[in-house]
Amino acid sequence: MDDLLAVNHLQTAFDTDQGLVVSVDDVSFRLKPGETLALVGESGSGKSVTALSVMQLLGKGSRIVGGKVWFEGTNVLELDDKLMREIRGNKISMIFQEPMTSLNPVLTIGYQMCESIMLHLKQSKKEAREAAIAMLRKVGLPRVEQIMDEYPLALSGGMRQRVMIAMALSCKPKVLIADEPTTALDVTVQAQIMQLMKELCEESGTAILLITHDLGVVAEMADRVLVMYAGQVVEETDVYTLFDHPEHPYTKGLLKSIPRIDADEHESLESIPGVVPVRYQNIAGCRFYNRCPIATETCKSVLPPLAITNEGHYTRCWEVGNIKEGVWEEAYE
């Protein structure tokens, strides 16, 4: 099956007082129709910037300095603003991370919901309103007819998040980028939203790029998982292999930090010492070196490649299997 979205060696940087700072460094991945790919990693790993780069929604002072983003055979990084507006919200849609600031405070919910439906689906105002009301009901909002005429300030954070999810799903996009889509929601509503996203995926072949810190959501939703650290991909594999046979020390640390129901009540929850480096483009070797329990001198001085360690399993670590033995090939040429 052909790739719906293909990101090749993406590199995104920010202009700062200290010069150009690379935030996303040589990130590659593939997304097929109907597939859910999860991006996981600590805050500051580059997950959201990767998604914003794909959408070309980077703010002032930031720019893509390398790589290509192929969508249905077109490199979207070469498209102008007009052509990108035809894709955003229609073919590629995004649920943004912060519900409190992502809606326009001076426009009603109904106006914001109907705008994209009328623009992309060419529906009348009446048809767009009916479609918007139906989608708001699907995401579990009450009194939807009233909410359509209200402004965002009248809604709680969780309600605004559901409005944003409804907006992102309203045009049935081919790719849905969901950046922490259930952060502001109650646990029961989270399950409903995840089920809705699954149904969309099955009905229309929508592919989902899911950005989350919640490994429970990853286990429930994802087909494959991309683990990011300090702007780079450190491991990629299918969801079952990731949980059963993780290879990178960082991935293992993330999994060990999950509370377990069968753990001893006096057992302390494990954590990864240290923090993600702020400026990491000048690090010569592995960027996880100063936090890694198995690091060697080679790790400190030489950057490991993202290499194929098993079929469909890619890892960036000198101490893993065939990479350590010197028998490996690059994951993405």
Tell me the per-residue pLDDT of 35-88, one tens digit each, with 9 for 90 and over. 999 999 998 899 999 999 999 998 888 999 999 999 998 999 999 989 998 899
**310-326 confidence digits (pLDDT tens):** 888 999 999 887 777 77
Extents of the domains making up the chain: 5-222, 229-331
On whether the 5-222 domain is CATH 3.40.50.150, my answer is no
Mean pLDDT calculated for residue range 16-27: 88
Residue 101 predicted with pLDDT over 60: yes
Token couple for 274: 């240290």
Give the Cα separation of 263 and 268 in Å (integer).
Answer: 9
User: CB of 155 within 8 A of CB of 179?
Assistant: no
Residue with tokens 């969780």: 158
Residue 1 predicted with pLDDT over 70: no
Residue 229 predicted with pLDDT over 70: yes
DSSP code of 78?
Answer: G
How many other C-beta atoms are found inside a 10 Å radius of the C-beta of residue 332? Answer: 18
Q: What angle do CA 141, 144, 145 make, to 5 degrees?
A: 175
Q: What is the pLDDT of residue 184?
A: 66
Give the Cα separation of 172 and 167 in Å (integer).
Answer: 10
Cα dihedral: 236, 237, 240, 246 (round 10): -60
User: CB of 36 within 8 A of CB of 199?
Assistant: no
Query: What DSSP element (H or E) covers 279?
Result: none
Give the Cα separation of 286 and 305 in Å (integer).
Answer: 9
**204-214 confidence digits (pLDDT tens):** 788 999 999 88
Token couple for 18: 């200290």
User: CB of 57 within 8 A of CB of 228?
Assistant: no
Residue 262 predicted with pLDDT over 80: no
Query: Chain-wide mean pLDDT for the chain?
Result: 89
Q: For the sheet with 74-75, list strands across it.
A: 19-31, 5-16, 62-71, 74-75
**158-195 confidence digits (pLDDT tens):** 888 889 888 988 888 999 999 988 776 777 777 777 88
Considering only residues 109 and 322, tell me which one the structure prediction assigns the higher pLDDT. Answer: 109
Contacts of 225 (CB under 8 A, 6+ apart): 37, 38, 40, 218, 235, 236, 237, 238, 239, 242
Q: What is the pLDDT of residue 93?
A: 92
How many other C-beta atoms are found inside a 10 Å radius of the C-beta of residue 249? Answer: 22
Q: What is the pLDDT of residue 159?
A: 87
Q: What is the pLDDT of residue 328?
A: 72
Helix (H, G, I), strand (E, B) or coil at 251: helix
What's phi and psi for 232, nearest 5 deg?
-125, 155
Q: Closest Cα to residue 22, out of 54, 60, 66? A: 66
Considering only residues 327 and 73, tell me which one the structure prediction assigns the higher pLDDT. Answer: 73
